[in-house]
Amino acid sequence: MKIFKQTLIISLLILLIFSNYSMGWTDAMDILTIHYHRYDKQYDDWKLWTWLDDFKIEVISQDYDEYGLIFKLDISKYPLTGNINFIPKYKNWEKKDGPDRYWIRTTPLEIWVLQGIETIYFNKPSTKPFVRKAFLDGAKEIT
């Protein structure tokens, strides 16, 4: 009877483990989380275009928070080697938020991106407005 119980428990554990994979559940180590902030806070219809070599996936945000959109990438769907490239895009490429960025596999699985800035942050950066460029158009005019 003891052997039967042990066999039953082991069988149930194996079934549970394999059913998780067949139901589409993924290991947390296979998920890259990209937080995307836009200064205009206009997030409707923004998506993330991702690619690695000839492999391409458009990712739709499933969530947002006070920082902005949250994109979840299942990195197990991409080729096993190489950096995953990405760029936020609006609708069907009516706009894009360049430059192209990329995630290196040896870096953390949670990153933050600011509109128009190439830098990838591994901690949540400040989203306070700042002057990115200024032009002196005249003796008393700056644009």
111-129 per-position pLDDT tens digit:
999 999 999 999 999 998 7
Contacts of 57 (CB under 8 A, 6+ apart): 50, 51, 73, 77, 78
Q: What is the pLDDT of residues 98-115, one digit of tens each?
A: 999 999 999 999 999 999
| Calpha distance 104→114 (Å, rounded) | 17
Average confidence (pLDDT) over 9-19: 54
Against a cut of 0.85, is the pTM above it? Answer: no
Question: Tens digits of per-residue pLDDT, 43-75?
Answer: 999 999 999 999 999 999 989 999 999 999 999
